[in-house]
Each structure stands twice: as C-alpha cells, then as structure tokens.
Amino acid sequence: MKKYLLVFIVTVTFIMPIVGGISQVWAGEVDVLINIMVKKGILSPQEARGVLADMQKESARETAAVKEVAKETAKETATKVAQKESKSYDLPGWVKNTKVKGDLRLRYQKQDRKGDLNQNRDRARMRARLGLVTEVNDQWKAGIGLASGGADPRSTNDTFDNAFSTGDWRLDYAFAKYTPFKWLNFIGGQFKNPIWGTKDLLWDGDIRPQGVASVLKYKPMDNLELFATPAYLIVDDAGGLTADPKAWLLQGGLKFKMKPAYIKFAGTYYDWQQLDDQVPGATAPNSASGTNSVHPVTGNLMFEYDSIVGDIEIGSKLPFPLVPFAAVFGQYVKSDADDSMGGLPSAWGEDDDTGWLVGVKFGHKKVKKRWQWQAKYNYRRLEADAWPDFLPDSDAYGGETNIKGHEIEFKLGLHKNVTIGLDYYNTKPIRTAPGARDMDETLLQTDLVLKW
C-alpha cells in the first residue's frame, strides 16, 4: 500500500507539474496528503520527513535541468543570429587579408653650411606614406605603396613652399613576394632594402632598390640565427648610350643570443657593374652627389666601386628601469678604388677607398609606447671613392662622400605609435681643394611622427 501511495505522490508532484506548469500548487497538496498519511499511521514521521526531503532534492534537480536547457537554447539562437548577420556583411577574402600601413612626419629643419656665403636655411617639411600589403594566398604576397616627395630616391620630403601648393604622390614600392618555406622567401619589383645594416652610412633609408632578392633565415639552435641575402639590382637604364649599370650582391651573417645580451654581424660583397662607364650629368644616376672621382681623359666615373662591407651590433638588456637597453654598433666599407683603372688615384691624388662608422644607442630598444625613449650617437667617415655617391644618407652633408662628422639622435614616445624626435648633424669634408674655405655644416631636424 505504501508503494502505491509513493508512486501516486511522485506522479502528482513531478509529472503533473511538468505537464501543467503548476508545481507550487501540487507541492502544497502533497504536503497535506502526507500529513493525513502520518495521522492514519500509514507513514511514520521519519518516513514522511524522508519523502519530503527526497521531493525537495528532485525538485532542485528538475529546476537546474530546465535552466540548463534554456541556457543552451538561448546560446544556439544567439549564434545563429550572429552567423546570419555576419554573412549579410561578410567582406571579400582579399580585403580581410590586406593590411594598411602608413606614417605621417611633420618636420622643422634648420641648416647652416659655413663658408658658402648663404644665410641659414629654415624649412618646414612633411612626409606622408601609405601602403597596402595583401596575402594573395598562403605563399604569395603583393605590396603597393605611395609616398610624398619628388623624383629623388633619397628623399620623400615635401617642403612647404610656393604659396600653399600641394605635393605629389609617387610610387614608393611595388613588389611580389613568394615564401615557399618559412625560412626562405623571394621578392621582386621595387621594395624596401633587404640588406641589413646598423646605420645609414651607405644606404639612405628612403631608397627602394629595384630588382630581385631572396632572404634565407635558418635557426640551428634557439639562440642562433643564420641569414643570407643574395640580390640582383638594376641601377639605371642608360638608354643604349652605355651598358646598363647594375649590381650583384651577397650578404651573410648571424645573430647569437646570450641572455641578456646578443651579437649580430654580417658581411656583404657588392659587385657593381658598368658604373665606370657612366658620365656624371649624362648617364650617371641623377641623384648622384658629384663627389666620386672622374677619369681625367674620358670624363667617366673612374672606378667600378666593387666593395666589401661589414656591420656589427652588440646589445644587452640592462637592469635599470629608466635605461633598460644599450648597444654599440659599427659599419665598415672598402672599395676597389685603389686598384681599378690601372691604379689611377682619386681626384685627391691618393686612394680614398675606405669608410667607417661607430656608434652607441641606449634607452628602450624600440620606441612604440608613451614615455619610451632612445638616444643615439655616431661618428662617421666616408672617403670620396669608398662608395657610390648616389646612395649615402642624404642628411649627412647632402648625401655626399668625402665627409666626416657627428650625428646625435633622440626620440620620445608621446603616445602609442606617436613620437617626437631630434636629429643633429655636424659634418664637414675630409679634404678640400687648396685655398678653399672650411665648409662645416650643422643640420637640426625636429620631427613629429604618427604611424598606423
């Protein structure tokens, strides 16, 4: 009899409420029924309390199950709605795989060259660059960039002048990049310089070489990286007057980490071809500074400028919050100007085939966030025929060879990706013509740079 009554109670308590949704009413009726059964002696008080306790536990489980089902249903509904909305506004695959990069630099520049009888030159300038890099697929990328400035490959500056005239946009780079393996890629077109260098003694940072190159990186150990960069660069189209000047080059190097320090160095060989067939002002690159030696008979550039270059940087993290990083660096170049053209001397009557730069930097390794900072100093010396004169840093005495001097830089983060910086040069010629005045030059640049 007790079993039948318990079955009835369970049915009344749980099955009916689920069907009719009136659990509270049925629960009250069951309490009355159990009390009657206790009075009639069908259930003892202990059995009644046990039945009530079991009923409460079962009710809690049922409530939790209902809540879980409701939660899962709501989640599935929200997912379906989100998928439907996303599908309605879905972007093409190439747009999702495209990155937009750019920067804007506002500059005040003060320049003074002693002995040239000209007043100090103050200029307000700006630089604007915008680029797109798209992942065509897992192995191919394409990039196109625009920049302000003129035809000079060593400058993307636009000077404020000519009654508020607007500047021009020019092609900065356009390349295709193929990466068959993580450790190997090939690039062709016009691209950022793939050659690693510690500073701009030899290559101005705005130059975008044209040709083809490859970058190989291999890590035989976690703390050791080997790299190599072969390249073939087209310097100019001589228009059939001479053979086109070009260059074959190969860089190899390594980076070794010894926590908290590291060392990175590389050697590069440049095989310049047909440069000595070029006549300054006619077939030589129009960005040339005119400081390389010229043959006294033919008027051509005297040397081929095949060169050996070395770069090294040694740096370390420091246990100082205000100065967390420091490094020393250097560059060295030696050209074939001492043995080309049958040993003819340079314009200065002796071999001028060597250049070098030494420097130090400290602060933060990179300045990307607010209040991060970095300071640099370097001393450079670049003899007249140590290197082609259409490539060096255009801010160091106008990009000429036959110069020496100091550079001091300071950069401070004002906000994320916003920096302000100072760049000061004090340079002069290594040699001047007999009786000529000293032509020391000071250049001060103040830059506000925004990147995205």
Instruction: Write down the domain spans for the chain.
Output: 2-88, 95-451
The tokens for 128 are 């604007």
How far is the first Cα of the chain from the last one, in angstroms, to the nearest whole number?
82
**C-alpha closest to that of 23 among 71, 65, 56, 67:** 56
Q: Is the pLDDT of residue 383 over 90?
A: yes
**pLDDT for 84:** 67
Give the Cα separation of 432 and 439 in Å (integer). 9
- Residue for token pair 């074959």: 248
Give the Cα separation of 294 and 412 in Å (integer). 44
Q: Is the pLDDT of residue 220 over 90?
A: yes
Sign of CA dihedral 43, 49, 51, 52: positive
**pLDDT for 16:** 46
133 neighbors 99 (Cβ within 8 angstroms): yes
Q: What CATH class does 95-451 carry?
A: mainly beta
Measuring CA to CA, how many Å separate 395 from each of 171, 208, 245, 420?
22, 17, 25, 18
Average pLDDT, rounded, for the chain? 87
Q: Is the pLDDT of residue 372 over 90?
A: yes
Q: Average pLDDT in the 250-262 region?
A: 97
Residue 21 CB burial class (10 angstroms; 0-12, 13-18, ≥19): exposed
Measuring CA to CA, how many Å separate 187 from each of 212, 240, 245, 421?
6, 27, 20, 32
**pLDDT for 77:** 79
Give the Cα separation of 98 and 78 in Å (integer). 29
Q: Pairing relation of β-strands 373-382 and 121-135?
A: unpaired
pLDDT confidence bin for 285, thresholds 50/70/90: confident
Sign of CA dihedral 27, 31, 37, 42: positive
pLDDT confidence bin for 115, thresholds 50/70/90: confident
When mean pLDDT is compared across 240-244, 358-362, 364-368, 427-431, the lowest value belongs to 240-244
Q: Average pLDDT in the 69-81 region?
A: 78
pLDDT confidence bin for 160, thresholds 50/70/90: very high
pLDDT confidence bin for 345, thresholds 50/70/90: low
Give the Cα separation of 401 and 156 in Å (integer). 21
**pLDDT for 261:** 98
173 neighbors 191 (Cβ within 8 angstroms): yes
206 neighbors 154 (Cβ within 8 angstroms): yes
What letter represents residue 36's amino acid? I
Q: Is the pLDDT of residue 398 over 80?
A: yes
CB 98: neighbour CB atoms within 10 A?
A: 16
What DSSP element (H or E) covers 93?
helix 93-96
Q: For 29-33, which contacts have Cβ atoms below 8 Å and span 24 or more sequence positions?
A: 30/55, 33/9
Q: What is the pLDDT of residues 2-52, one digit of tens each?
A: 544 554 554 545 444 444 444 444 456 667 777 777 777 777 878 777 777
